[in-house]
Amino acid sequence: MLTLSTKGFPDYELLDSGDGARLERYGKYRLVRPDPQCIWKRKLSFREWNSVDAVFQKLPNSREGWKTRHYMPERWKLHYNHISFYARLTPFKHTGVFPEQVLQWEFLQSVILNAVKDLKHQPNILNLFGYTGIASLVAAKAGAKVTHLDASKSSVVWARDNQALSKLEDKPIRWIIDDAIEFCRREIRRDHRYDGLLMDPPIYGHGPDGQRWDFYKSFPQLMHLCQQLLSDRPLFIIINAYAISASALMLENIVKDYVGNLSGTIESGELALEEKSGGRLLSTGIFARWSKSM
Protein backbone atom coordinates (compact mmCIF):
# COMPACT_ATOMS: atom_id res chain seq x y z
CA MET A 1 0.00 0.00 0.00
CA LEU A 2 1.22 3.50 -0.86
CA THR A 3 0.09 5.95 1.81
CA LEU A 4 0.17 9.74 1.73
CA SER A 5 0.42 11.20 5.20
CA THR A 6 -1.02 14.63 5.93
CA LYS A 7 2.55 15.98 5.69
CA GLY A 8 3.11 14.81 2.13
CA PHE A 9 1.15 17.64 0.49
CA PRO A 10 0.93 20.76 2.73
CA ASP A 11 -1.96 22.25 0.75
CA TYR A 12 -4.14 19.20 1.46
CA GLU A 13 -5.33 17.39 4.58
CA LEU A 14 -7.79 14.57 5.16
CA LEU A 15 -9.03 16.05 8.42
CA ASP A 16 -11.46 13.27 9.36
CA SER A 17 -13.68 10.57 7.87
CA GLY A 18 -16.64 8.47 8.89
CA ASP A 19 -20.42 8.02 8.67
CA GLY A 20 -20.18 7.91 4.87
CA ALA A 21 -18.17 11.08 4.28
CA ARG A 22 -14.77 12.77 4.21
CA LEU A 23 -13.81 16.09 5.78
CA GLU A 24 -10.93 17.58 3.77
CA ARG A 25 -8.91 20.76 3.43
CA TYR A 26 -7.83 21.96 -0.01
CA GLY A 27 -5.73 25.05 0.58
CA LYS A 28 -7.75 27.31 2.88
CA TYR A 29 -11.11 25.72 2.04
CA ARG A 30 -12.72 22.91 4.02
CA LEU A 31 -14.99 20.54 2.11
CA VAL A 32 -17.25 17.60 2.95
CA ARG A 33 -17.75 14.92 0.31
CA PRO A 34 -19.64 11.63 0.50
CA ASP A 35 -17.61 8.42 0.56
CA PRO A 36 -19.72 5.28 1.05
CA GLN A 37 -16.79 3.16 2.25
CA CYS A 38 -16.38 5.33 5.36
CA ILE A 39 -18.76 3.35 7.53
CA TRP A 40 -16.67 3.84 10.69
CA LYS A 41 -17.25 6.55 13.31
CA ARG A 42 -16.07 10.12 12.97
CA LYS A 43 -13.36 11.36 15.34
CA LEU A 44 -13.98 15.10 15.17
CA SER A 45 -16.94 16.95 16.63
CA PHE A 46 -20.15 17.98 14.89
CA ARG A 47 -18.91 21.56 15.13
CA GLU A 48 -15.76 20.71 13.15
CA TRP A 49 -17.78 18.92 10.49
CA ASN A 50 -20.27 21.77 10.28
CA SER A 51 -17.64 24.53 10.01
CA VAL A 52 -16.95 24.01 6.33
CA ASP A 53 -17.05 26.05 3.14
CA ALA A 54 -18.91 23.60 0.90
CA VAL A 55 -20.71 20.25 1.09
CA PHE A 56 -21.50 17.87 -1.77
CA GLN A 57 -25.07 16.77 -1.09
CA LYS A 58 -28.58 16.22 -2.38
CA LEU A 59 -30.05 19.40 -3.84
CA PRO A 60 -33.74 20.45 -3.94
CA ASN A 61 -34.09 19.27 -7.56
CA SER A 62 -33.20 15.71 -6.44
CA ARG A 63 -29.80 15.98 -8.04
CA GLU A 64 -26.46 15.97 -6.26
CA GLY A 65 -24.15 18.94 -6.21
CA TRP A 66 -22.16 21.37 -4.13
CA LYS A 67 -23.86 23.61 -1.58
CA THR A 68 -21.59 26.44 -0.49
CA ARG A 69 -21.87 27.82 3.02
CA HIS A 70 -19.35 30.60 2.55
CA TYR A 71 -18.00 32.40 -0.48
CA MET A 72 -16.08 30.04 -2.76
CA PRO A 73 -14.20 31.26 -5.84
CA GLU A 74 -14.73 29.53 -9.17
CA ARG A 75 -11.22 28.16 -8.79
CA TRP A 76 -8.34 28.59 -6.36
CA LYS A 77 -4.60 27.90 -6.36
CA LEU A 78 -2.81 24.95 -4.78
CA HIS A 79 0.91 24.21 -4.79
CA TYR A 80 3.10 21.13 -4.74
CA ASN A 81 6.88 21.09 -5.01
CA HIS A 82 7.17 24.33 -7.05
CA ILE A 83 4.23 23.38 -9.28
CA SER A 84 0.97 25.32 -9.08
CA PHE A 85 -2.49 24.24 -10.20
CA TYR A 86 -6.13 25.15 -9.85
CA ALA A 87 -8.74 23.32 -7.80
CA ARG A 88 -12.45 23.86 -8.36
CA LEU A 89 -15.74 22.34 -7.27
CA THR A 90 -16.77 20.05 -10.13
CA PRO A 91 -20.17 18.42 -10.71
CA PHE A 92 -18.44 15.06 -10.28
CA LYS A 93 -17.80 15.43 -6.52
CA HIS A 94 -14.05 16.02 -6.84
CA THR A 95 -11.86 19.11 -7.20
CA GLY A 96 -9.65 18.12 -10.14
CA VAL A 97 -6.83 17.40 -7.70
CA PHE A 98 -6.23 13.86 -6.38
CA PRO A 99 -3.87 14.18 -3.40
CA GLU A 100 -3.03 10.48 -3.18
CA GLN A 101 -1.31 10.86 -6.55
CA VAL A 102 1.53 12.70 -4.81
CA LEU A 103 2.98 9.24 -4.24
CA GLN A 104 3.07 8.66 -8.00
CA TRP A 105 4.35 12.19 -8.67
CA GLU A 106 7.29 11.56 -6.35
CA PHE A 107 8.04 8.27 -8.11
CA LEU A 108 7.72 9.89 -11.53
CA GLN A 109 10.03 12.74 -10.61
CA SER A 110 12.66 10.41 -9.16
CA VAL A 111 12.76 8.10 -12.18
CA ILE A 112 12.97 10.95 -14.68
CA LEU A 113 15.64 12.86 -12.76
CA ASN A 114 17.75 9.70 -12.52
CA ALA A 115 17.31 8.99 -16.24
CA VAL A 116 18.38 12.51 -17.17
CA LYS A 117 21.39 12.31 -14.86
CA ASP A 118 22.54 8.73 -15.41
CA LEU A 119 21.35 7.92 -18.94
CA LYS A 120 22.01 11.42 -20.26
CA HIS A 121 18.88 11.64 -22.41
CA GLN A 122 15.51 13.36 -22.27
CA PRO A 123 12.82 10.73 -21.60
CA ASN A 124 9.76 10.77 -23.84
CA ILE A 125 6.63 10.29 -21.70
CA LEU A 126 3.01 9.56 -22.65
CA ASN A 127 0.29 10.48 -20.15
CA LEU A 128 -3.03 8.91 -21.15
CA PHE A 129 -6.30 10.09 -19.55
CA GLY A 130 -4.15 12.96 -18.26
CA TYR A 131 -7.05 15.06 -16.96
CA THR A 132 -5.89 18.30 -15.28
CA GLY A 133 -2.26 17.62 -16.09
CA ILE A 134 -0.44 17.73 -12.77
CA ALA A 135 1.53 14.55 -13.50
CA SER A 136 2.44 15.95 -16.93
CA LEU A 137 3.80 19.10 -15.27
CA VAL A 138 5.78 17.06 -12.73
CA ALA A 139 7.32 15.01 -15.55
CA ALA A 140 8.12 18.03 -17.69
CA LYS A 141 9.67 19.96 -14.82
CA ALA A 142 11.86 16.94 -14.01
CA GLY A 143 13.24 17.00 -17.55
CA ALA A 144 10.95 14.86 -19.71
CA LYS A 145 9.29 15.56 -23.03
CA VAL A 146 5.59 14.89 -22.45
CA THR A 147 2.59 13.99 -24.59
CA HIS A 148 -0.57 14.62 -22.57
CA LEU A 149 -3.80 13.11 -23.87
CA ASP A 150 -7.38 13.41 -22.69
CA ALA A 151 -10.70 13.03 -24.50
CA SER A 152 -12.16 16.10 -22.76
CA LYS A 153 -11.38 19.51 -24.24
CA SER A 154 -12.29 21.24 -20.98
CA SER A 155 -9.82 19.04 -19.07
CA VAL A 156 -7.02 19.88 -21.48
CA VAL A 157 -7.85 23.59 -21.17
CA TRP A 158 -7.65 23.20 -17.38
CA ALA A 159 -4.31 21.41 -17.72
CA ARG A 160 -2.91 24.17 -19.93
CA ASP A 161 -4.07 26.76 -17.41
CA ASN A 162 -2.12 24.81 -14.79
CA GLN A 163 0.94 24.90 -17.05
CA ALA A 164 0.68 28.68 -17.33
CA LEU A 165 0.10 29.06 -13.58
CA SER A 166 3.25 27.01 -12.94
CA LYS A 167 5.22 29.14 -15.44
CA LEU A 168 6.18 26.03 -17.40
CA GLU A 169 5.09 27.23 -20.86
CA ASP A 170 8.65 26.69 -22.12
CA LYS A 171 8.57 22.98 -21.24
CA PRO A 172 8.01 20.49 -24.09
CA ILE A 173 4.42 19.34 -23.49
CA ARG A 174 2.24 18.26 -26.41
CA TRP A 175 -1.46 18.63 -25.58
CA ILE A 176 -3.76 16.18 -27.40
CA ILE A 177 -7.57 15.84 -27.38
CA ASP A 178 -8.26 12.34 -28.66
CA ASP A 179 -9.45 8.82 -27.95
CA ALA A 180 -6.67 6.89 -26.21
CA ILE A 181 -6.92 3.70 -28.26
CA GLU A 182 -7.16 5.47 -31.63
CA PHE A 183 -4.25 7.77 -30.74
CA CYS A 184 -2.04 4.84 -29.72
CA ARG A 185 -2.80 3.02 -32.96
CA ARG A 186 -1.73 6.07 -34.95
CA GLU A 187 1.43 6.50 -32.87
CA ILE A 188 2.40 2.90 -33.64
CA ARG A 189 1.92 3.51 -37.38
CA ARG A 190 4.02 6.68 -37.08
CA ASP A 191 6.73 4.66 -35.31
CA HIS A 192 6.64 6.99 -32.29
CA ARG A 193 7.96 5.40 -29.12
CA TYR A 194 7.88 6.34 -25.43
CA ASP A 195 10.24 5.71 -22.53
CA GLY A 196 7.48 5.99 -19.94
CA LEU A 197 3.72 5.46 -19.87
CA LEU A 198 1.32 6.85 -17.30
CA MET A 199 -2.44 6.30 -17.32
CA ASP A 200 -5.56 6.76 -15.19
CA PRO A 201 -8.23 4.89 -17.17
CA PRO A 202 -11.85 5.40 -16.05
CA ILE A 203 -14.32 2.58 -15.73
CA TYR A 204 -16.55 4.09 -18.44
CA GLY A 205 -16.11 7.00 -20.82
CA HIS A 206 -16.34 8.36 -24.32
CA GLY A 207 -13.82 9.69 -26.80
CA PRO A 208 -14.26 13.11 -28.44
CA ASP A 209 -16.09 11.49 -31.37
CA GLY A 210 -18.27 9.24 -29.24
CA GLN A 211 -15.89 6.28 -29.01
CA ARG A 212 -16.94 4.05 -26.14
CA TRP A 213 -14.58 3.15 -23.33
CA ASP A 214 -15.41 0.16 -21.10
CA PHE A 215 -12.54 -0.64 -18.75
CA TYR A 216 -12.97 -4.42 -18.76
CA LYS A 217 -13.10 -4.60 -22.56
CA SER A 218 -10.97 -1.65 -23.59
CA PHE A 219 -8.10 -1.75 -21.09
CA PRO A 220 -6.55 -5.02 -22.35
CA GLN A 221 -6.66 -3.59 -25.90
CA LEU A 222 -4.92 -0.45 -24.71
CA MET A 223 -2.21 -2.41 -22.90
CA HIS A 224 -1.53 -4.43 -26.06
CA LEU A 225 -0.99 -1.16 -27.92
CA CYS A 226 1.10 0.34 -25.13
CA GLN A 227 3.42 -2.64 -25.24
CA GLN A 228 4.18 -1.73 -28.85
CA LEU A 229 4.71 1.93 -27.97
CA LEU A 230 7.55 1.27 -25.53
CA SER A 231 11.01 2.34 -26.62
CA ASP A 232 14.02 0.03 -26.49
CA ARG A 233 15.01 1.64 -23.16
CA PRO A 234 11.74 1.93 -21.22
CA LEU A 235 11.77 3.42 -17.73
CA PHE A 236 8.32 2.85 -16.26
CA ILE A 237 4.64 2.12 -16.66
CA ILE A 238 2.23 3.55 -14.05
CA ILE A 239 -1.45 2.57 -13.98
CA ASN A 240 -3.97 4.04 -11.55
CA ALA A 241 -7.59 2.93 -11.37
CA TYR A 242 -10.58 4.26 -9.46
CA ALA A 243 -14.13 3.05 -8.87
CA ILE A 244 -13.67 -0.36 -10.45
CA SER A 245 -14.80 -3.59 -8.80
CA ALA A 246 -11.44 -5.32 -9.03
CA SER A 247 -8.27 -5.61 -7.00
CA ALA A 248 -4.75 -4.37 -7.61
CA LEU A 249 -3.84 -7.98 -8.41
CA MET A 250 -5.84 -7.62 -11.62
CA LEU A 251 -3.67 -4.67 -12.67
CA GLU A 252 -0.51 -6.51 -11.65
CA ASN A 253 -1.47 -9.56 -13.71
CA ILE A 254 -2.08 -7.44 -16.80
CA VAL A 255 1.23 -5.64 -16.35
CA LYS A 256 2.95 -9.03 -16.12
CA ASP A 257 1.22 -10.09 -19.35
CA TYR A 258 2.69 -7.23 -21.32
CA VAL A 259 5.99 -6.24 -19.68
CA GLY A 260 6.77 -9.22 -17.46
CA ASN A 261 9.55 -10.18 -19.85
CA LEU A 262 11.42 -6.94 -19.16
CA SER A 263 13.96 -6.73 -16.37
CA GLY A 264 12.68 -4.56 -13.59
CA THR A 265 10.27 -4.41 -10.67
CA ILE A 266 6.49 -4.72 -10.62
CA GLU A 267 4.56 -3.25 -7.70
CA SER A 268 0.84 -3.13 -7.02
CA GLY A 269 -1.48 -2.18 -4.22
CA GLU A 270 -3.79 0.47 -2.90
CA LEU A 271 -3.37 4.21 -2.82
CA ALA A 272 -4.40 5.58 0.56
CA LEU A 273 -4.67 8.81 2.52
CA GLU A 274 -3.85 9.10 6.22
CA GLU A 275 -6.36 11.15 8.15
CA LYS A 276 -5.17 13.81 10.55
CA SER A 277 -7.74 13.13 13.30
CA GLY A 278 -7.08 9.49 14.05
CA GLY A 279 -4.32 8.28 11.74
CA ARG A 280 -6.68 5.86 9.99
CA LEU A 281 -6.02 5.01 6.35
CA LEU A 282 -8.58 5.69 3.66
CA SER A 283 -8.20 3.68 0.45
CA THR A 284 -8.79 5.82 -2.63
CA GLY A 285 -7.89 3.55 -5.54
CA ILE A 286 -5.57 0.85 -6.82
CA PHE A 287 -2.36 0.96 -8.82
CA ALA A 288 0.24 -1.17 -10.53
CA ARG A 289 3.57 -0.03 -11.90
CA TRP A 290 6.64 -1.46 -13.55
CA SER A 291 10.01 0.27 -13.33
CA LYS A 292 13.35 -0.54 -14.88
CA SER A 293 16.13 -1.82 -12.67
CA MET A 294 18.62 1.02 -12.36
Does residue 225 share a domain with residue 146? yes
Is 165 inside a domain boundary? yes
pLDDT at position 148 over 80: yes
Write the pLDDT tens digit of every residue in 43-99. 999 999 999 999 999 888 878 999 999 999 999 999 999 999 999 999 999 999 999
CATH of the domain at 38: 2.60.40.1180
Does residue 279 share a domain with residue 149? yes
**Contact criterion met (CB below 8 Å) for 286 and 272:** no
Is 103 inside a domain boundary? yes
Write the pLDDT tens digit of every residue in 197-208. 999 999 999 999
CATH of the domain at 131: 3.40.50.150
Q: For the chain, how far is it from start to end, CA to CA, in angstroms? A: 22
Helices (H), the chain: 46-50, 102-114, 134-142, 153-165, 180-189, 215-229, 248-259
Does residue 283 share a domain with residue 236? yes
Does residue 247 share a domain with residue 165? yes
Does residue 107 share a domain with residue 243? yes
Average pLDDT over residues 106-132: 93
pLDDT at position 30 over 70: yes
Q: How far apart are CA 224 and CA 228, in angstroms?
A: 7
Is 207 inside a domain boundary? yes
Domain hosting 68: range is 2-73
Average pLDDT for the chain: 94
Instruction: Specify the number of domains making up the chain.
Output: 2
Residue 151 phi/psi, 5-degree rounding, is -80, -15
Does residue 207 share a domain with residue 127? yes
